[in-house]
Each structure stands twice: as structure tokens, then as C-alpha cells.
Amino acid sequence: MVLESPYYGQRRPSMQHGAKLQCVSDLLLLGKATIDEARSLLYWLQAEAGYGKMGICGLSMGGVHAAMVGSLHPTPIATLPFLAPHSAVVPFCEGLYRHATAWEALREDAAALAKDATSLTEDAASGISIEQVKDRLRSVLSLTDVTRFPLPKNPQAVIFVGATDDGYIPRHSVMELQKAWPGSEVRWVTGGHVSSFLLHNDSFRKAIVDALDRL
């Protein structure tokens, strides 16, 4: 079963161009809706459709969501976060996405909020630096830190797959996930964030089968 997340495909708002989200809040809403919907689907599959052995898998940001759902599910399921960071802070504040983030627009927004909330003059509010904006975004996105989530019911059925030359998700971030969930496994494939998935489909499929076999 493939869940199409909000802000993608047919669920993309008409004013959104491509996959670029317009607001930071869109990212948080996307994640919350995806997690709630995935949990509901798993409940239906188990309670209504009668499936016993189940798993959840996601790629990149979907991998973060898959990890969260696997963590929160009340019974053991196979959990497979592929090419996923331990937190959205990593790609947006440290990885390549930092070059695609509209920092100046976020700075102007922060300055406007600061002016409205205090007696700051316009000149003082405009003194907010880009680094302060980045710190603010890091604080907001820290909500997505998977290492703060509960240990899955069967961590042996958790397999992370990372790419050796991933410009979006550094190796240390993948290892943070494995460190937080003792008993889980990390596997590596060669290539970047896109090429590794295109060239190593068999490795990703094998991870899915292996995790399901561990239930």
C-alpha cells in the first residue's frame, strides 16, 4: 500500500510549485498528517483486514516518517527508513537543502514577528541575523528528532539503509538512529541520495524482506 503524502502529487496545493513547500509550517503539517494517516492504515490492516505481519518503509523524508510510525505503533512491525536522517535539522540546516531554503524570507518574517511582539523599532527588528534565523529553524525542526521517540517494540526488525555518498544525509545522522535504537541494523549502499536508490533496488527490497522475516 502506497500512501501519497500531503503536499505531493494530487494532494499538492494549487499555489505550490513543484515539491518546494512555501512555509515551514507546511513541513510540520505534512509530517503530522502522514504519520497519523499511516498509523490509521496500519490499524485498519491489522484490526479490520486481518493482516498479522506488517511493515512500514519510507525514503528520505518518508524514511523519517516511517521511523516515527514504527516507533509509535503499539505492536511489533518491520520498520525500514531508507536514506533518512535522524532529524529534519540535518538536511535543511546542514545538508544541501540549506542552499534551497529562503533564508532572507524567513529573516524578514522573524523580524516582522519580533516587531509585532515587542516595542522594537523597525531598525532593531531588521537587525536579526541569518544565523539567528537558522537557530530558530533548528529549534522548530528539533521536533522531528527521531532519537527522542520511543524504542520500537521489536528493534531487531528495524533496518536502516544509508548511502555512502549522500549529499543530503551524512553518515553520522544515520548512525545516530542506530545508536538510539539498540538492536537495529544499518546497511550501506554506494552512491548518492538518488543514484543509490536507482542502482540498488535489490538491496532495498532485500532489507524489506529481511526485516519482515524477523517478526
Distance CA 99, CA 192 (A): 17
Strand ranges (E), the chain:
55-59, 78-82, 159-163, 185-189
Provide the 10 A C-beta neighbour count for residue 215: 16
pTM above 0.85, yes or no: yes
Strand ranges (E), 137-205:
159-163, 185-189
198 pLDDT more than 60:
yes
Is residue 77 within 8 A of residue 215, CB to CB? The reply is: yes
Residue 128 has a pLDDT of: 84
Contacting residues for 180 by C-beta, under 8 A, at least 6 apart: 86, 146, 147, 151
Residue range 137-193, pLDDT digits in tens: 999 999 999 999 999 999 999 999 999 999 889 999 999 999 999 999 999 999 999
**Lowest mean pLDDT across 13-17, 47-51, 57-61, 135-139:** 13-17
Is residue 146 within 8 A of residue 63, CB to CB? The reply is: no
109 pLDDT more than 90:
no
133: its cell numbers: 534565523
pLDDT band at residue 121 under the 50/70/90 scheme: low
Three-state DSSP at 51 gives: coil
User: Mean pLDDT of all residues in the chain?
Assistant: 90
99 pLDDT more than 90:
no
